[in-house]
Chain A
């Protein structure tokens, strides 16, 4: 869910390009000239293949989208959608007027900005450093190691966090106690929630994030480096004038994608790290929707919150994409 919107924009852009290419090569369209029923008769098997997918998209993507109308109702499971009372914008008004809204917005933005400013540069730095390693065997070992956490589940990540940081017998607390005599309550105190969340993200995704930058770096012409070396450029100058410009487009694209999905913090990671003691700094839109809707059963209210988040998300992605294209960046693909 988190990444689908970004991907969608990427696909919209590429399909537009393909369309333009398609227009140029008119001769390819020869098959479209025959009437539809004739084409259908000849290739009915293709339609059979595509049918389950179409049904899937209608039932599991479009029907739930229609269900969003319960945000404007006082939905009761006993009365159903048809029988429930309409309340207009009441749930939205309650949400914006309630005290939770400010907290959710603050927390969501705080976590997003933290990821944007602190986590975002890390894969780039690591990729640049890995790129300096000329010994391929060593490079491979390092890469293999740093990719692994990406494939580990968030529950295991939480479990590791818990086993290392918990107050009674976590490693870190044992060390702190040996040195200072007292312990730190990392897991249920408010000031530690965000740093730990960030640390988890950095540990889990930095290595894997390097792949795309390393791919961009692999595309750089070696002759450029050789020419620069002849001109007397050192390591630093080569990086500044060749390597960084080479991955600039990739960096900007990734940055745009992140800015576009600023309200998406994901549920799992936050949910796992959340407890009643740190709720005031850890509750974000995603976890709030789950709690209001599924745990407490206020379906309509939770749907309203979800719909608000979803629509803001869509608008953000489309806007950022437009800005990117206007400013001459090739865009998001």
Chain B
């Protein structure tokens, strides 16, 4: 082996090296394809006719484009209502969480903020000790937030880990800027608004994304705390639509489809899945460059 290696200095390298490179390239491409294939199939299926879905095993281009599934979904409106609710919940929840988190993080990032260690230890202790699902459920029912969006937004408003990431970023801002602003007569509030916030856009963008994705994708929270169908989120409706063949709803009873008529068929399930995924996929290209950075902030720096 060693005898031959000096030959590798040629630009293209030995044949075996090129073969290995080729294998690596195609394997990675295969991984990407496998990741996308289920999506592509579902998108294709949602435009196909029911007949084709039953007769053909697998296809990426339906032989006949049919909008029936989408028509049905828009007409019956369940998932559209769910998407509206989800959008509302995601927007309001994310804005509120971000405001609370940045407000809380900023004082903790100030050098010499009295009581900083006490507050930080209080926060870190909550991350180590179990809160538990049932005590939380009891508390929320106790304060009368059951079947209200308040139960989904406020109890998770400050994610301690995200808050600490923001705090670390504030801490990393240059002290000279802050001192300069102070000498110019800026108050703490003004320094926060005019110096700290504008400089923290990258980290705030990443955390906003993670929070929003969390809200949009949350299934368990709405399932536990929401009761009335008109408040259901997209994920809850999607679950219902997919589960209908098994004829059970979230609490195990039979689903009454009411106005929606007969249980949805394959194409409709596919269309519902597509519609629920689209909002997240539309955000994805815009934030992709941010989130890699956000993950680094979170994981590498701690």
Residues of A within 8 A of B (CB): 1, 3-5, 7-15, 28-32, 36, 39-40, 43, 45-47, 49-50, 52-54, 56-57, 59-68, 70, 126, 129-130, 132-133, 135, 138-139, 141-142, 144-149, 151-156, 158-160, 162-164, 166, 168-169, 171, 174-175, 178, 203, 206-207, 211-212, 215-216, 229, 232-235, 267-268, 271-272, 275, 286, 289-290, 293-295, 299, 302-303, 306-307, 309-311, 313-314, 317-318, 333
CB distance from A272 to the nearest CB of B (A): 7
In the complex, what residues of B have CB within 8 A of residue A14's CB?
Answer: 302
Q: Are A11's CB and B24's CB within 8 A?
A: no
Known: A52-B103, A145-B35. A13 touches B302 (CB 8 A): yes
Secondary structure dominating the interface of B: helix
Interface size class of B (residues with CB under 8 A): 35 or more
A163→B6 CA distance, assembly (Å): 54
CB distance from B114 to the nearest CB of A (A): 5
Q: Are B42's CB and A160's CB within 8 A?
A: yes
- Contact partner of B132 among A64, A142, A147, A151, CB < 8 A? A64
List, sorted by A's number, 16 A–B pairs whose CB atoms are closer than 8 Å. A29-B112, A43-B110, A49-B103, A50-B104, A50-B107, A53-B101, A64-B131, A64-B132, A68-B130, A145-B36, A156-B276, A159-B273, A160-B38, A268-B219, A275-B246, A286-B133
Q: Are A232's CB and B273's CB within 8 A?
A: no
A310→B35 CA distance, assembly (Å): 34
CB distance from B168 to the nearest CB of A (A): 8
Q: Are B281's CB and A142's CB within 8 A?
A: no
Closest A residue by C-beta to B277: A156
Q: Which of B34, B122, B130, B239 has the most chain A CB within a 10 Å cutoff?
A: B130
Secondary structure dominating the interface of A: helix
Residues of B within 8 A of A (CB): 1-2, 5-6, 8, 17, 20-21, 24-25, 27-29, 31-36, 38-39, 41-42, 45, 53-54, 57-58, 100-101, 103-104, 106-108, 110-114, 119-120, 122-124, 126-139, 154-155, 157-158, 160-161, 163-164, 187-189, 192, 213, 216-220, 224, 235, 238-239, 242, 245-246, 251-252, 266, 269-270, 272-273, 276-277, 280-281, 284, 288, 291-292, 295-296, 299-300, 302
